[in-house]
Chains A and B, each alone.
Chain A
């Protein structure tokens, strides 16, 4: 059992919480998310050109890079997190270029050494899997793929092939942090994915409130919340942890008791 499969084998749905590495006091913020009840941590690797992200996470990327965040700092944060939280799954999310800059083996080794469980690479299509996938799989790190409302029946097997950990269902065709999708559409799409795969399905993009989260948790294995947390980091700076803990607790409560 991996940390991810253990978490998703629990009978209750999971809260997957995202923040950007290097934006604010990341270590304290991560601890607050776990204390609040986040089941999986998704840590964003900052990039100069986050083209799938909306204004909230774009700004977080710029703040993080402005703070001088390097790839080495991201792995130092991950390593320290793993030491403090041996059982909480940690996933890195980001864009292909920073991940492949020093070669796939370097990156996968660094992930393994830091105790990273999975990788979400937004702009690495399954068609370009060889740039990262084989190196990750060889070290037992899950390449976590995204499926979207535009991923049709014919394409879904391609997305699922070689992916592990969980499948990230992007509920809207769009960028992060904007509008949420209608629950009927989410339910139908999650059911469709489940026909093709045994992987847990976590749903994200546009989820901000406990009410939305609960609704999704009734039909999915996990709910991803990002921009709402990132907004709190932006607004409260060094005072962010208490606010993150509070929102995580509300979301976790709503998700864990949804069914």
Chain B
């Protein structure tokens, strides 16, 4: 039996929140009624022009959208192949794409009459974005963060505190991002009546993967129009890094039904895919269930979740959004990976050639671009989402390079 290719890649998920065999709603019964409520409220919001108008207005005047599309001449010349264009989502307010989603979710929270916001964060980028929108709308914000991450990411912890958020260090488990997410789910289940959980990536129980994708798709919609207007055609290749995968799905989704556009997602290969120290769920994981959805997970033969590793805290998660799992299986999106070392080199390459300090997360995507661009013709174009800026990472990079600052 040959698998039928779908007519459109943009009609997922189905009404039960499934992307093929992935996605779904795998949550404790206490949360199910709430998750069903959220879906109903999201459908109403989608049909409400006032919701869209408020979302668009905040993105324009508060976040600073549309973000620029930038042609990178010296990087293009250095790599000697395809023309490289960056979608500059690192120029957003708060320095990354995360804010797009937080604006959408807090508007939903307020529609639902929720009075208290919770979030999980790893490196602190999603925590900062959530604390930002909570300050903007005057809602209390509780951010769960692994105790180890609290120690390593002290500038972001201070930022969140300045913005009025309460930071709860999580010592349960090994005190990483997935433990922070477990703890946020425990808070949610105990406070369902008044609390909204702003999930930071395109994962979790339906409808989160769908609504996060929809809020982040502004990236791809803008970039598609900008490429057409600036180059007169669609890009030959679009590239984005993947942890949970929200910036990548935001870039890719508007291009899914443009077969001439190759799409490439870049996972974090950490210290290499041959060992255990990586965070490449698609390359090194198997389908399973965690945090409300079925997707590819790093896990052992008994289904115990293993810890991811990446130099980039934002990619250091043992799962991936379910739509990426489906896009991998259908073959519409190609997935590759970049190691810590390759990301560090790419980080420095962009600093040197374009005067842009990228975050370590998109540095993985730059590493992939550096490999593929030289193999392409000079009249071809690559569009890459530069999803975050690197100010937060300079200490990590200095340490990795053996520099004392």
Residues of A at the B interface (CB closer than 8 Å) are: 47-52, 54-55, 58, 62, 65, 70-71, 95-101, 122-125, 127-128, 131, 145-152, 155, 159, 170, 173-175, 178
Binding site secondary structure of chain B: mixed
Other A-B pairs, 6, CB within 8 Å; known A65-B304, A124-B26, A150-B31: A48-B305, A49-B179, A97-B288, A127-B24, A147-B29, A150-B32
Q: Once bound together, how far apart are the Cα atoms of A70 and B302, in whole Å?
A: 7
Q: Report the separation of the CA atoms of residues A16 and B181 in the bound assembly, to the nearest whole angstrom.
A: 30
Contact B303 A98 (CB under 8 A): yes
B residues contacting A by CB (< 8 A) are 16, 24-34, 36, 172-173, 178-179, 181-182, 185-186, 189-190, 192-193, 288-292, 294, 297, 299, 301-305
Q: Is the CB of B27 within 8 A of A125?
A: yes
A101 to B303, CA, bound (A): 5
Q: Which residues of A contact B304 (CB under 8 A)?
A: 47-48, 65, 98
| Nearest chain A residue, comparing its CB with the CB of B305 | A48
Contact check, A125 vs B26: say whether CB atoms are below 8 A apart.
yes
Could you jot down 14 A-B contacts, CB within 8 Å? A51-B181, A62-B173, A98-B303, A100-B303, A122-B28, A123-B26, A128-B24, A128-B26, A131-B294, A146-B28, A151-B29, A159-B29, A170-B29, A174-B190
Decide yes or no: A97 and B33 within 8 Å by CB, A62-B173, A173-B190 being known contacts. Answer: no
- Closest chain-A Cβ to B182's Cβ sits at a distance in Å of 4
Asked if residues B29 and A127 are in contact (CB atoms below 8 Å), the reply is no
Q: In the complex, what distance in Å separates the CA atom of A98 from the CA atom of B172?
A: 20
Known: A48-B304, A48-B305, A97-B303. A155 touches B28 (CB 8 A): no
Of listed A62, A65, A98, residue having the most chain B CB within 10 A = A98
Contact B30 A148 (CB under 8 A): yes
Contact B299 A97 (CB under 8 A): yes
Complex interface: chain A residues within 8 A of B27 (CB): 123, 125
Tell me how far the C-beta of A185 lies from the nearest C-beta in chain B, rounded to whole angstroms: 14
Q: A127-B16, A174-B189 are in contact. Are A96 and B34 (CB under 8 A)?
A: no
Closest to B21 in A: A131
Q: A127-B24, A128-B26 are in contact. Are A150 and B33 (CB under 8 A)?
A: yes
User: Nearest chain B CB to A182's CB is how many angstroms away?
Assistant: 15
Contact (Cβ within 8 A) A96 B26: yes
> Which residues of the other chain, A, contact B172 by a CB distance below 8 angstroms?
55, 58
